[in-house]
Amino acid sequence: MDGQDTSRKGRYALIASLASSLLIAIIFVILSLAVNSSRTVPLYSPVDIVAGMVFVFVLSMIVSASVWPGIFEKGLH
């Protein structure tokens, strides 16, 4: 029974990590597109925006993958 509970916590932590990282990456894209549209000469190229989005996603996934399991461990225990 404890193995299933651990598996469920791991699945929830993975889903929460992916969701929060995607949300942060989408916020990054929205803000970078807003900065580009507010300037006459774009500050960032589309390649810069996509590369930045991937970088932000990877970094936020690393952080959230270490934070969410602890939150679910305390909350579901």
Per-residue pLDDT tens digits for 11-49: 888 999 999 999 999 999 999 999 999 999 998 999 999
| Closest CA relative to residue 26, chosen from 65, 52, 64 | 52
| Closest CA relative to residue 16, chosen from 57, 72, 75, 56 | 72
CA distances from 39 to 33, 34, 42, 43, 52 (A): 10, 9, 6, 7, 19
Domain chopping of the chain, boundaries: 2-76
Residue 1 has pLDDT above 60, yes or no: no
- Give dist(CA 54, CA 15) in Å, integer: 18
* pLDDT for the residue numbered 75: 72
Q: Which of 6-10, 36-40, 60-64 is least confident? A: 6-10
Structure pTM? Answer: 0.83
